[in-house]
Amino acid sequence: MSKPQVLILGQVLWARKELDEIIGPLAEILWCESKTKDEFKADCKTKYSKIVGVYEHEGMFATVGKPNAELINALPSTVQFWAHNGAGYDKLDVDACLARGISASHTPGAVDNATATTAVFLILASIRQFYKAEKSVRAGNWKNDLPLARDPENKTLGIVGMGGIGALVAKRMHLGWGMKILYHNRSPVKAGGAGAEYEYCASLEEMLGRCDVVSLNLPLNANTEKSFGAKQFGWMKKGSVLVNTARGGVVDEPALFEALKSGHLYSAGIDVFPNEPDVNPEYLKYDNISILPHMGTETSDSRWVMEMTVIKNMESYLKEGKMINLVAEHKGHLQ
């Protein structure tokens, strides 16, 4: 009896050996050779017509396009699972997958350490305003005319979204710099987790008014898009700091710029943008902001863990008919 077929969309760079060793005995591995969306749609009726699952990495976007409803609906009827490489999956149309009965997974946990490290860096850089210092010394000005910054010790940090990343940011800033931790979530974290040590705030308004630094660690979806806007910035303390390592789309950019321009925000640290890789040139006008080009998971270690998580999801489905890390929207509906 022939093995089922799985299709690799994009690249597997760090766990290629493991892909062959773990998935190879369970399925025939096909590598996508389609060069355009139309070619991919045509190939789904011919050489990919028997695939049961898909491994997807964003490297596919440049060729066959993003996994929207059009692409999902072009898949052959044999497809049962879609394994996404990434914790955030806002570019994957999970509703289209659900309508087709295709179980979708992602990689929560795999990106937690690397993204939390990025958030910690931005918190420290924004409070100490190290980017001004680096700019000055690169210009040959040493530290002439640099204003005094602030210390992170004993400040209050508010976490919006106390998932795996948020919990690590909280732990590191609390243990390393003695910051008091508040957090706002849909519900308190289970006993024994972050909720056992940190203060849960059911009211976002109340939490923001008490924080010196606010870290955004929530997913991007229909409910959170532009959810942090003028009202939320108004709730923040004057002279506080915003750090965003979540998704650019959760912040209303014009409201952020106004908060920076008015001086209501002391500083900001931004790693993510709504239309990546395009960055709104307005960011470059402010000298009280630290920006990075979405460096959250730009380490070989985290990339290996991410790829291994995808591989383990594929293995689980091929062996047991279920994904380990099913996306939230599919829970209770599939498997």
Strand order across the beta sheet in which 51-56 lies: 28-31, 5-9, 51-56, 81-84, 103-105
Q: How high is the pLDDT of residue 193?
A: 65
27 Cβ contact partners less than 8 Å away, ≥ 6 residues apart: 3, 4, 5, 6, 52, 53, 314, 318
User: Could you give the 3-state DSSP secondary structure of residue 87?
Assistant: coil
Q: What is the DSSP string of 18-43?
A: HIIIIITTTSEEEE----SHHHHHHH
Q: Span 112-291: which CATH code?
A: 3.40.50.720
Q: How high is the pLDDT of residue 110?
A: 93
So which residues are the catalytic ones? Answer: 247, 276, 294
235 vs 231: CA distance, rounded Å: 6
**5-110+300-330 against 112-291: fold identical:** yes
Q: How high is the pLDDT of residue 192?
A: 62
Q: How high is the pLDDT of residue 32?
A: 96
Q: Is 72 left (phi over 0), alpha (psi -120 to 50) or beta?
A: alpha
Question: Regarding the domain delimited by 5-110+300-330, which CATH topology (the fold level of the hierarchy) does it fall under?
Answer: Rossmann fold (3.40.50)
Alpha-carbon dihedral of residues 109, 96, 59, 75, nearest 10 degrees?
Answer: 130
Cα angle for residues 284, 289, 290 (degrees, 5° grid): 95
334 vs 330: CA distance, rounded Å: 6
Domain positions in the chain are 5-110+300-330, 112-291
Q: Please, are residues 232 and 211 in contact by the beta-carbon 8 Å criterion?
A: no
The amino acid occupying position 122 is L
The size of the chain, in residues, is 335
Q: How high is the pLDDT of residue 140?
A: 94
Q: How high is the pLDDT of residue 172?
A: 96
Tokens 């766990």 belong to: 15
Regions of the chain short of the pLDDT cut 50: none
